[in-house]
Amino acid sequence: MGTDRASATVDGGFVDRALEAANLNALRIALYHQTNDPRLAAMEVKQVPAQGGALTAYVLHRQHHDELRAIATEYFSQRLGTESDHSVRPHPTREETADLITLFTGEAPTETELAFSYEDLAFEDFPRNIDWTNGRPENVDDFHVTIVGAGFSGLVMGIQLDRLGIPYRIIERNPAAGGTWFTNDYPEARVDIPSAIYQFRFIKQYPWKSYFATQAELAEYVQMIIDEYDLASKISFNTAVADATWNETSKRWDLELDGPDGTTAIGTNAVISCAGLFNKPNLPDIEGIESFEGHMFHTTEWDHSVDYNGLDIALIGTGSSGAQLMPNLAEAAKQLNVYQRTANWVTPVVGYRNQMPAEERWLFDSMPGYWNWFIFASYVAQMQMQSLQVMDPEWIAAGGRVNERNAKFEARLTEFIRSKVGDDDELFAKLVPSYPPLARRLIIDNGWYDALVQDNVDLVTDGIERITPNGIVSIDPKTGNEVERSVDMIVLGAGFKVAEYLWPVPYTGRNGMSLEKLWARDGARAYVGMTLPEFPNMFIFYGPNSQPRGGGYHSWVEIFSRYVCGLMVEMIESGSSSIEISQEAFDSYNTAMDEEHKTILWEYEGVGGYYVNAFGRSGVNMPWKVHDFFEMVQQPDPENYIHG
């Protein structure tokens, strides 16, 4: 499978080191399922405050560590001596999983938590599967689907359609697949959530090299998927969907494609936009930008031919990409000027740049179930961030900003800044955001503060006035004078135009309905992020307000692909030609969603970066809790749809 597994000599010392590196609670649960050893079940899990008390970590009590390692050593000494795996118990059933989760966290899961967790634990071959009711109908041969985009969303959609035997083609404007991870190959690009979560659940034991995968690893992962699932021949590369119009007579979408052979027209029964949220670079509108005579590029269009060692560099933009990249520029540059418009909260993450040791990878391969429970441990930790997002009226009435946990997190992150900048009060003031953590996307510390205190790095918070052929002019707020800082290279790290859903493709639905008309009031909306009234047989991945509050990206696109396939199965099996969300369901869903938004911090005083659209409305994130949203999209809900 793509990357070679580490070859290592497995002796006693190796196993000891593996057990030292292990997530002990995950190991305990996996071992317990295999051995039924009551000592493992009796071990105590402590809820330990993490991040200054903002979060809770489920940690195996220290008093059990040695005993657990001894039981594991015994288990391996017995297993490693045998050739066959006949002693390995099959994965737990759903019911057994409920008990094991209770042992893991000390709390019994609700029905919905169990349903979500069981899928996410990935015990089944294809956890988010969907099938025909009575076998594949013959009329499917005449049905054709077009998927727009070959990022992770488009790929999983193709794989689901292949499983159902529904003919399809993926249209991709880039020369290769991978979307985000094809375009964003700037130095230091990597995920900011653990690889354990950021991966498909139908691909088992992928041998990640890093705990947080780099762009290069993700590009390899994409290629592995294309090869394993034989997708290459189903993708038209270098081809863009330029126009899409619903044809009421044929009950199909008429698409215009711009490809290597010019413009072609095709008809397709359904169109699924997997066009992505972060693929329209935000090019800052700064006077004189075109006059700059040095090197200048956006993070998505990194010019790898430029050797920037020893150059004077400016970085405009300090969001996720800019902050991730900055330390690399700081190391190379003679002088680096970092232009920051809004300060962001930056959190330390232990082991962010660490490679996975061979011992841990061996444990994934050798301890049945450990890989699954390791994923679960990451998922439980990540899921807790939800509690920091909820507005607590009592806390606010008493003068707080969001809630107690959020305030503890803020205090912890503020201390972190102080610990990094020491007594430099001016820098400290520039770095502490005015809004509470999580009102904007939280940034992972990739060496941000350490780089900022280097002698060759300046954080410039004065507004940029204009760009000249030689550099950047800003106004010094103390003197009111213009200051020009000369540079050889400008990196534009100003992020993406996230609010422009589906842009630039003009989709025209039934009765000439356009997206502009549908979204004129206050920006893009959808039903469960995926469907729109008057747009039959059109489905959107990661559409408006569907970025969930937790859970891994891949888990969600697996869930979305099952939902979309479920609707198509329903349509085809019922003999109808189209399926479309009713206006009533769309309206009542959106009214309820607006209400729910009032309980969450994303519209906090209009702050929100890309979370908030031009109308001041939270337009990207899903306000409901992860498990509540999961209930809405776990299975398709055909009763809310109109057949045509």
Ligand X SMILES: Cc1cc2nc3c(=O)[nH]c(=O)nc-3n(C[C@H](O)[C@H](O)[C@H](O)COP(=O)(O)OP(=O)(O)OC[C@H]3O[C@@H](n4cnc5c(N)ncnc54)[C@H](O)[C@@H]3O)c2cc1C
State in angstroms the smallest separation of the CB of 217 from ligand X. 12
State in angstroms the smallest separation of the CB of 448 from ligand X. 15
Q: One-letter amino acid identity for 245?
A: T
Q: Which is nearer to ligand X, 403 or 446 (CB)?
A: 446
The count of residues in the chain is 644
In terms of Cβ atoms closer than 10 Å to its own Cβ (0-12, 13-18, 19+), residue 290 is: exposed
State in angstroms the smallest separation of the CB of 471 from ligand X. 26
Looking at 24-32, 142-150, 371-379, 560-568, which segment touches ligand X (CB under 6 A)? 142-150
Residues 305-364 that bind ligand X (CB under 6 A): 321
Per-residue binding string, ligand X, 231-250, x by CB under 6 A, is ---------xx---------
Looking at 31-39, 110-118, 172-180, 526-534, which segment touches ligand X (CB under 6 A)? 172-180
Q: At 108, list the tokens.
A: 């019994």
**Residues 6+ positions from 91 with CB-CB distance below 8 Å:** 123, 124, 368, 369, 372
Q: Please select the residue that binds ligand X; options are 427, 505, 513, 632, rule is CB under 6 A.
A: 505
If we measure between CA atoms, which residue out of 451, 455, 487, 162 comes closest to residue 324?
451
State in angstroms the smallest separation of the CB of 280 from ligand X. 9
Q: Which is nearer to ligand X, 135 or 504 (CB)?
A: 504
**Residues 6+ positions from 16 with CB-CB distance below 8 Å:** 69, 73
State in angstroms the smallest separation of the CB of 273 from ligand X. 8
Q: Which is nearer to ligand X, 258 or 573 (CB)?
A: 258
Q: Which is nearer to ligand X, 18 or 155 (CB)?
A: 155
DSSP per-residue letters across 389-422: GB--HHHHHTT-SS-HHHHHHHHHHHHHHHHHHT
Applying CB under 6 A, does 609 fall inside the site for ligand X?
Answer: no
State in angstroms the smallest separation of the CB of 494 from ligand X. 12
DSSP 8-state symbol, 160: H
Q: Which is nearer to ligand X, 100 or 277 (CB)?
A: 277
**Do 277 and 557 form a contact (C-beta atoms < 8 A)?**
no
Q: At 190, list the tokens.
A: 């990597």
Query: Cα separation of 95 and 114, whole Å?
Result: 9
Applying CB under 6 A, does 179 fall inside the site for ligand X?
Answer: yes
Residues 533-572 that bind ligand X (CB under 6 A): 541-542, 553
Per-residue binding string, ligand X, 189-228, x by CB under 6 A, is x-xxx----x------------------------------
Q: Please select the residue that binds ligand X; options are 73, 112, 129, 174, rule is CB under 6 A.
A: 174
Q: Please select the residue that binds ligand X; options are 154, 369, 471, 551, rule is CB under 6 A.
A: 154
Per-residue binding string, ligand X, 264-283, x by CB under 6 A, is ----------xxx-xx----
State in angstroms the smallest separation of the CB of 17 from ligand X. 29
Identify the H or E element spanning 222: helix 215-228
State in angstroms the smallest separation of the CB of 558 from ligand X. 12
Reading phi first (left if > 0) and then psi (alpha if -120 to 50, else beta), residue 288 is in left
Beta 252-259 vs 240-247: how paired, if at all?
antiparallel
Reading phi first (left if > 0) and then psi (alpha if -120 to 50, else beta), residue 626 is in alpha
In terms of Cβ atoms closer than 10 Å to its own Cβ (0-12, 13-18, 19+), residue 176 is: middle
Applying CB under 6 A, does 446 fall inside the site for ligand X?
Answer: no
Q: Within 13 A of 6's CA, how many CA atoms are on the CB side?
A: 20
If we measure between CA atoms, which residue out of 410, 408, 404 comes closest to residue 442?
410
Q: Please select the residue that binds ligand X; options are 113, 119, 120, 172, rule is CB under 6 A.
A: 172
Per-residue b/e over 37-52, b at no fewer than 16 CB within 10 Å? Answer: eeebeebebeeeeebb
State in angstroms the smallest separation of the CB of 328 from ligand X. 14
Binding-residue total with ligand X (CB under 6 A): 31
Q: Please select the residue that binds ligand X; options are 150, 336, 413, 600, rule is CB under 6 A.
A: 150
State in angstroms the smallest separation of the CB of 325 from ligand X. 9
Q: Please select the residue that binds ligand X; options are 92, 127, 149, 509, rule is CB under 6 A.
A: 149
Q: Which is nearer to ligand X, 403 or 613 (CB)?
A: 613
Could you give phi then psi for residue 547, rounded to 5 degrees?
-80, 105
Chain center to CA of 262: 34
Looking at 23-31, 157-165, 183-191, 559-567, which segment touches ligand X (CB under 6 A)? 183-191
C-alpha dihedral, 409 to 412 to 416 to 417, nearest 10°: 70
Q: Which is nearer to ligand X, 180 or 545 (CB)?
A: 180
Looking at 66-74, 114-122, 143-151, 263-271, which segment touches ligand X (CB under 6 A)? 143-151
Give the interface with ligand X as residue ranges (CB under 6 A): 148-154, 171-174, 179-180, 184, 189, 191-193, 198, 240-241, 274-276, 278-279, 321, 505, 541-542, 553
